């Protein structure tokens, strides 16, 4: 086992962690929370960059003079631990007996969900106050009732997403400090937006220049998520049926659905369709948003809209149509909003509003997506209808366009590229500003 652990911790033998492009907003939060003494949990879809962020945090500790042998990192997805009865206890026993006998150290425990009954073990180590612990996992299922009961008030969570658009620009060496420097690079920004709409933001895949290799990478991510985070976690037996279910939602992303409709269309019983939706949410593959209404009962009995975690992942495994560009833009806009808000809604009257945001001051933003410079009248009419329904609360009416920018009849028209840079350039994301301390 010591050889496996040495492979996971090359700094013990004087080597540096593998180099990678930084994600400074995430890294700053991780470093801040690591000083708190509380547990830190990185949660998010598989291959979104959680392991890389852990390695960057380790590199920061090393650069600040931390003894390399005080830093312990392991990924429990490693097949070497497959036959170990209690892998967490086993690796720590080996670490302390062979590498570092002291307890004042940092533990970076990747894919912790592979360890049976990990919550109770982590609580024990936390209560003893012997370690500073950073955990990662690829399923929201990990943050369920057991964890909430055992560790309530003892951990911070940061949800790690694939690259947002400003990170994608930075990875392609496009940086801006203000509106002037952004507009000076408008042509390059728009070029990369078109790339981003197609390639998505999984870090390794998004930077791959070979189209076929990128597609193969994304398909391997998709298979890994399905089998490790859904089939294995939830003991799904009808794998082909599950794949058909996911394929349908991916093909019809940014569209309304009902459990009853999915069950009827895909020949499933209601319970199975309900469970499959929950599994996709847990694996961070799909997010569903409710109708905006002040009545929870009305929200619950209305259809929901489904969005995919990443355009590139969706494009690699589902049918693509020429009309998809608008929905790809809508999916990107949703993921940008979802990073910074606990809940995003849609609204439907005679017309439909793509997104509704309820702010902390109870005001409402209504946002439509029209990735074109020819704005249909229905986009305006649905916003006016929403404002008429909620006259005292509607603070902003927005249409996100391809390149139209103006304010007319109380509606802000903002190019999608500019809006993404304005929104994401503020560094908003779940964790410090979003979910915060649990």
Residues of the chain below pLDDT 50: 428, 432-438
- What was the pLDDT predicted at 435? 34
Looking at residue 432, its pLDDT comes to 39
Edge to edge, the sheet with strand 155-159 lists: 71-75, 105-110, 131-137, 39-43, 155-159
Q: What is the pLDDT of residues 92-145, one digit of tens each?
A: 999 999 999 988 899 999 999 889 888 889 989 998 888 999 999 988 767 665
Dmax (CA) of the chain: 71
394: which strand partners?
364
Q: Please, are residues 317 and 219 in contact by the beta-carbon 8 Å criterion?
A: yes
Q: What pLDDT sits at residue 146?
A: 62
Distance (Å, whole) CA 414 – CA 392: 23
| Residues 6+ away with beta carbon under 8 Å from 222 | 313, 316, 317
Looking at residue 438, its pLDDT comes to 31
Check residue 117 and give its pLDDT.
86
Q: What is the DSSP letter of 176?
A: -
Q: What is the pLDDT of residue 344?
A: 97
- Domains, the chain, ordered by start: 2-160 (3.40.50.300), 166-424 (no CATH)
pTM of the model: 0.93
Residue 321 has which token pair? 């149509």
Alpha-carbon gap, residue 425 to 411, rounded angstroms: 23
How big, in percent rounded to 5, are the helix, strand and coil portions of the chain?
50, 15, 35
Phi, psi of 412 (to 5 degrees): -90, 125
Phi/psi for 351 (5° steps) reads -105, -170
398 forms beta bridges with 367, 412
């Amino acid at each position: 086992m010591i050889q496996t652990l040495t492979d996971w911790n090359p700094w013990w033998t004087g080597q540096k962690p593998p180099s990678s492009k930084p994600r400074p907003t995430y890294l700053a939060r991780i470093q801040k929370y690591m000083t708190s003494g509380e547990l830190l949990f990185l949660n998010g879809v598989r291959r979104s960059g959680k392991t890389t962020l852990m390695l960057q945090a380790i590199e920061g500790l090393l650069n600040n003079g931390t003894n390399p042998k005080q830093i312990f990192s392991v990924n429990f997805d490693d097949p070497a631990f497959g036959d170990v009865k209690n892998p967490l206890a086993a690796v720590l026993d080996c670490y302390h007996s062979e590498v570092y006998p002291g307890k004042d150290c940092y533990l970076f425990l990747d894919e912790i969900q592979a360890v049976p009954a990990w919550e109770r073990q982590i609580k024990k180590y936390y209560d003893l106050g012997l370690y500073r612990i950073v955990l990662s996992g690829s399923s929201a299922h990990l943050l369920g009732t057991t964890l909430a009961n055992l560790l309530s008030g003892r951990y911070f969570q940061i949800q790690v997403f694939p690259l947002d658009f400003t990170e994608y620009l930075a990875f392609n060496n496009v940086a801006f400090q203000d509106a002037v420097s952004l507009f000076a690079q408008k042509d390059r920004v728009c070029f990369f937006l078109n790339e981003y709409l197609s390639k998505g933001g999984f870090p390794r895949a998004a930077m791959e220049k070979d189209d076929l290799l990128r597609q193969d990478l994304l398909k391997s991510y998709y298979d890994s998520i399905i089998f490790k985070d859904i089939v294995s976690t939830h003991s799904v037996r009808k794998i082909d049926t599950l794949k058909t279910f996911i394929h349908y939602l991916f093909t019809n992303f940014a569209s309304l659905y009902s459990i009853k409709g999915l069950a009827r269309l895909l020949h499933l019983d209601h319970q199975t369709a309900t469970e499959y939706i929950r599994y996709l949410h847990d694996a961070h593959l799909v997010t569903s948003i409710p109708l905006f209404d002040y009545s929870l009962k009305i929200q619950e009995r209305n259809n929901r809209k489904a969005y995919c975690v990443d355009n590139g992942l969706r494009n690699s495994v589902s049918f693509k149509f020429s009309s998809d560009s608008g929905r790809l833009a809508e999916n990107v806009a949703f993921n940008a909003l979802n990073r910074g808000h606990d809940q995003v809604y849609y609204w439907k009257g005679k017309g439909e509003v793509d997104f509704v945001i309820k702010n902390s001051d109870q005001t409402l933003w209504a946002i439509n997506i029209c990735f074109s410079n020819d704005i249909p009248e229905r986009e305006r009419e649905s916003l006016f209808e929403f404002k008429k329904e909620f006259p005292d609360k509607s603070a902003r009416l927005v249409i996100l366009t391809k390149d139209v920018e103006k304010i007319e009849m109380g509606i802000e028209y903002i190019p999608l590229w500019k809006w993404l840079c304005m929104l994401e350039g503020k560094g908003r994301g779940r964790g410090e500003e979003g979910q915060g301390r649990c």
